[in-house]
Amino acid sequence: MPGRDDRLLVAVAVLASFVAFLDGSVVNLALPAIQAELGGGLLTQQWVLDGYLLTLGALILVAGAISDTFGRLRALRAGLVLFGLASLLCALAPSGAILIAARCLQGLGAAFLVPSSLAMLNARFTGAEQSRAIGIWTAWTGTAFVIGPLLGGLLVEGLGWRWVFAVNVVPLAVTLALSTKLADRTAARGGSVDVVGAALTAVGLGCTVFAVIEQQRLGWTNPAILAGLVVGPACLIAFVWWERHARAPMVPSGIFAARNFAVGNLATVFLYAGVSLGQVLLALFLQETGRLSPAQAGLATLPVPILSLLLAARFGELAGRHGPRRFMAAGPLIAAAGFVLMAVTTGNVWVQTLPGLVLFGIGLAVTVSPLTAAILAAVQPVHSGIGSAINNAVARVSGLIAIAFTAVIVGGAIDLDGFRRGVIATAVLLVIAAVVSAVGIDDRVPDLSAPSQAAVAACQDRDGPPPAAR
C-alpha cells in the first residue's frame, strides 16, 4: 500500500470494523456465565445477543447517510467513542437490563463504524489499489467474526465474562488515537439528514430484524412477530415511495440504476444467505453430532479465516486489474462445491467437514473482496457511506432470514440427514449467487470522475457543494 498515510488509513478502517464484527459473535460463549451472575434466564441471554444485532441492522442505513452528510472520519470517531463507552458499560453492568441497553448502544456504535470505514477506503483508492485495500479489510473483518466464539470462550474461562466487553477498550482507544493522525480528504456532502426517510428505514429494518430474530423463540404466529412482519415491510415500502418524492432523499436517486450496484446487491442476498446458513449448520453439526466442544468447533473452522487472511487481498487486487465478474462467478461455485463435498462424504466429523471447509474458505476469499469492491466502485465517492450501508444491510437481513429457516430446511434436527439437506440448500444459494454475478456483473469500470447530474442535483437540494472528484 503506497504511502504512510494510506497504510494508516487501512489500519484504522480495519481496526474499527474488526471490533464491530468481533462483538457480533464473541459474546456467544459468555451467555451461560452472564445468566449465572445476572439472572434473567433465557430472555436475558437472547437479548444480550439480539439487542446488538437489532440496533446495528436497524440503524446502519441511517448511520451511512450521516457519514456521507457530515464526514466519514467524524462519523467513525463518533462510532469509536460510542462503542468504547458502551463496552465499558457492558463490562460494569450490574443487571441484565443495563447490559441489554449497553449492547443496544454497542450496535449503534457499530452502525457508524462499518460503512464509514469502507467509505473512507473507497474514496481514497482507485482501481487495483482500491480492491486490494478492500481485500485487506474483508480478510480481517471476516476473521473477526469467525474467531469471536473461540476468543470469547478463552476470555470467559480465563478472566470472566466481563472481559469479553472490557477487552474492546484498548483496541478502540488505539484506533481513536490513530484516527487523529488522519485528515478527512473527502468533502462532507453537507445539508441535513432526511428525517422521515431515516425514521422509516429504522422502523422498517428494526421491525423486520426483530421478527426474524425473535420468531425462533416466540414462533411465527406470535402477535409481536406478526406485527413486526406487517409493520417492517410496510415501512420499507413507504420508504421507497418517500425517497422517490423527497426533496433531499437519504438514498440518492438512481443509485440502483448502476448495474454493478444493483446486481452486486442481488448476488449479496444469495451469497450471504448461503454463508450464514452454512456457518450455523457447521457450528451445530460439529457440536451436536460431532460432539466437539465449542473451542474445538472453533478450531475446526479455522481454515476459513486463515484462507481469507492469506488470499482475500490478493484476489481483491486481481479483481481490480481484470474485473470482478469472473471472481464473483467462480468463488461461490468453489464454496458450493465445498458444501456438496460435505454432503456426500462419509466418515468421522473431520473427514466429513475439513476438506469442504477448505474449499469454502477458498471460495469466500475469491468472492467477497471483488464483490465489495464492485459494489462500491459503482457509486459516486460522495455516496460511499450509504452505498456501503445498503450492502451491509442487505447482507445482514438476508443472513438472518436464512438462519430463521434453518429448522425448516434441516427438518428439526442437525443429524447426518438434516445436515446433508442443509448443506445442499446452502450450495444451491451459492450457485444462484454465482449465476447472478456471471450474467449481470460488468467488468468495465464506471467513469465516476465527474459527478452525475442526479448527484449534483441532490447536493444542490442540500445547499451543499457538489461532490468532489476522486
Q: What is the DSSP string of 364-400?
A: HHHHHHHHHHHHHHTS-GGGHHHHHHHHHHHHHHHHH
At residue 189, φ and ψ (nearest 5 deg) are -70, -25
> What does the pLDDT read at residue 448?
52
Q: Tell me phi and psi for residue 469, to 5 degrees.
A: -70, 150
DSSP 237-287: HHHHHHHHH-SS-SSPTTGGGSHHHHHHHHHHHHHHHHHHHHHHHHHHIII
User: What b/e string do you get for 114-133 counting C-beta neighbours within 10 Å, with b at 16 or more?
Assistant: bbbbbbbbbbbbbebbbbbb
- Which SS3 state, helix, strand or coil, does residue 415 take? coil
DSSP 446: P
Angle subtended at Cα 241 by Cα 240 and Cα 246, rounded to the nearest 5 degrees: 100
Question: 409 in helix, strand or coil?
Answer: helix
Contact 80, 29 (CB under 8 A): no
222: its cell numbers: 406470535
Contact assessment for residue 64 and residue 390, using Cβ atoms and an 8 Å cutoff: yes
How high is the mean pLDDT in each 10-residue block of the chain (470 residues)?
72 83 72 78 73 81 80 86 91 89 90 83 74 78 69 73 84 87 62 78 85 80 91 90 80 80 92 88 79 72 81 82 89 94 81 88 89 83 79 83 80 78 93 94 64 36 33
For the stretch 310-344, what's the b/e string if a residue is b when 16 or more beta carbons lie within 10 angstroms of its beta carbon? ebbbebbbbbbeebbbbbbbbbbbbbbbbbbbbbe
What are the cell numbers at 260? 454493478
Could you give the angle at which helices 96-124 and 72-92 cross, rounded to 10 degrees? Answer: 160
Cα distance between residue 384 and residue 126, in whole Å? 13
Which three-class secondary structure state does DSSP give residue 469? coil
pLDDT of res. 186: 56
How far is Cα 228 from Cα 204, in angstroms, rounded to an integer? 9
User: Which pLDDT score, from 0 to 100, does residue 334 have?
Assistant: 96
Q: Which domains does the chain have, with CATH numbers?
A: 4-194+246-461 (1.20.1250.20)
Q: Are 99 and 43 in contact (CB under 8 A)?
A: no
Cα–Cα dist 357/366, whole Å: 14
Alpha carbon of 420 to those of 180, 183, 467: distances in Å? 50, 51, 51
Nearest alpha carbon to residue 175 among 261, 79, 58:
79
Which has the closest alpha carbon to 315: 83, 69, 139?
139
Inter-residue contact 348 to 23 (CB < 8 Å): no
DSSP per residue, 128-191: HHHHHHHHHHHHHHHHHHHHHHHHHHHHHHHT-TTHHHHTTHHHHHHHHHHHTT----SPP--S
b/e burial code for range 214-242 (CB count within 10 A of at least 16 → b): bbeeeeeeeeebeebbebbeebbebbeeb
